[in-house]
Structure 1
Amino acid sequence: MEKLRKHIEEIIPITDEEFESIKPFFTIRRVLKNQYLIQQGDDAKYEYIIMSGIFRVFYLNEEGKEHIVQFATENWWMSDYISYFNQKPANMYVVCMEPGEVLCLTLEGREQLSVTLHKMEHFFRVKLTKGYIALQQRVISLLSNNPQQRYKEFAALYPNLMQKIPKKYIAEYLGVSRETLSRLYSNNK
């Protein structure tokens, strides 16, 4: 839980008493490699903050093709947010790519924390805003950058993920074939 406190204090200061009141809203869950936190059709009951591990958030189209929306690692937040906030069945999948640990927060818990400790409302707003900005930048990159530009951008933003995530998934995330990714990788050594 100390990682959670440090994470929160990157945005807002909290006292020991405030942190003690925050802790009960989060539950710890250990996750195995290839274990799903959310599958299409589930109710996304939780928003997750990653304490360790790497996760993949993706959508399967009608033909069964995987479209990776996000990779997530330590201190990142993830869920199927359409399902989480609207309390509707999930369209996304969230799967663990290496053993990890997450903290789970229900929407009810999030709302209650925001009401009882106004600082947390500010914290959640900042985190949500940063996430929205990152998603918008990703969409713009997919729409306007060529594969080489997307590759360089990914490598610069997430150098630690380049070595940990199988190339197949990096290619899917970038919207290129495995062969194109191999060429990009070779050209950028």
Structure 2
Amino acid sequence: MDRLRKHIEQITPLTDEEFDYVRTFFTLKKVRKNQYLIHEGDDTKYEYLVLSGIYKVFFVDNAGKEYIVQFAQQNWWMSDYDAFFKEKEATMFIECMDAGEVLYSTLASREKLSADLHKMEHFFRVKLTNGYVALQQRIKLLLSSTPQQRYAEFSKLYPELIERIPKKFIAEYLGVSRETLSRLYAGKS
């Protein structure tokens, strides 16, 4: 739970008493490689904070094609947020790509914690805002850049993921073929 406190205190300080209260809203879960946290069609009850490991958030279209929305790593939050906030069935999957640990909490817990402790409401607002900004930047990059530009930006933002995630999944995330990614990767060596 020390990692949770450090994560929160990057945005807002907490007293020991406040953190003792905050920690009661989270549960630790160990996750195996290839284990799913969310399947399409599940009731989406939880939001997850990644403590360790790498996770793939994706959906599958009607033709069976996979689209990766996010790779989540340490200190990233993840869920099928449309389903989580609207309390409906998931349309996404979350799969663990590299064994790790997550903390999870429910929407009701998040709402109560935010209502009871203004610092946590501020924390969640900042995290949500930052996530929204990152999503807009990703969409902008996907819509208006070349594969080379997308790869360069991914490499700059997530250099540790280049070595830890299979190239097939990086290609899917960037919206390029595996062959195109291989050419881009070879050009950077």
For the superposition of Structure 1 and Structure 2, which TM-score range results when normalised by the shorter chain? over 0.9
TM norm structure 2 = 0.99
The offset of 1:188, in angstroms, is 1.5
Specify the code of the residue in structure 2 equivalent to 1:137. Answer: Q
Tell me, yes or no, if structure 1 residue 40 matches structure 2 residue 60: no
Tell me, yes or no, if structure 1 residue 64 matches structure 2 residue 46: no
Specify the code of the residue in structure 1 equivalent to 2:74. Answer: E
Across the two proteins, how many residue pairs are aligned to each other? 189
Q: State the match for 2:152 in structure 1.
A: 152
Q: State the match for 1:186 in structure 2.
A: 186
Specify the code of the residue in structure 2 equivalent to 1:65. Answer: K
The offset of 1:32, in angstroms, is 0.3
Structure 2's unaligned 5+ residue stretches are none
CA distance in 2, matches of 1:44, 1:188: 40
SS at match of 2:58: strand
CA distance in 2, matches of 1:135, 1:64: 24
Give runs of ≥4 in structure 1 deviating > 2 Å: none
CA distance in 1, matches of 2:135, 2:105: 21
SS at match of 1:113: helix
The offset of 1:44, in angstroms, is 1.1
Q: Deviations over 1:18-72 (max 9, x none)?
A: 0000001000000000000000000110000000000000010000100000000
Residues 23-172 of structure 1: pairs in structure 2 closer than 5 A: 23-172=23-172
CA distance in 1, matches of 2:43, 2:164: 29
SS at match of 1:11: coil
TM norm structure 1 = 0.99
CA distance in 2, matches of 1:123, 1:105: 15
CA distance in 2, matches of 1:135, 1:13: 27
Tell me the C-alpha RMSD between the 2 structures: 0.4
Q: Deviations over 1:104-144 (max 9, x none)?
A: 01000000000000110000000000000001100000000
CA distance in 2, matches of 1:137, 1:8: 24
CA distance in 2, matches of 1:105, 1:143: 34
Specify the code of the residue in structure 2 equivalent to 1:155. Answer: S
The offset of 1:8, in angstroms, is 0.2
Specify the code of the residue in structure 2 equivalent to 1:179. Answer: E
Q: Could you tell me the percent identity over the aligned residues? A: 64
The offset of 1:89, in angstroms, is 0.4
Q: Deviations over 1:137-173 (max 9, x none)?
A: 0000000000000000000000000000000000000
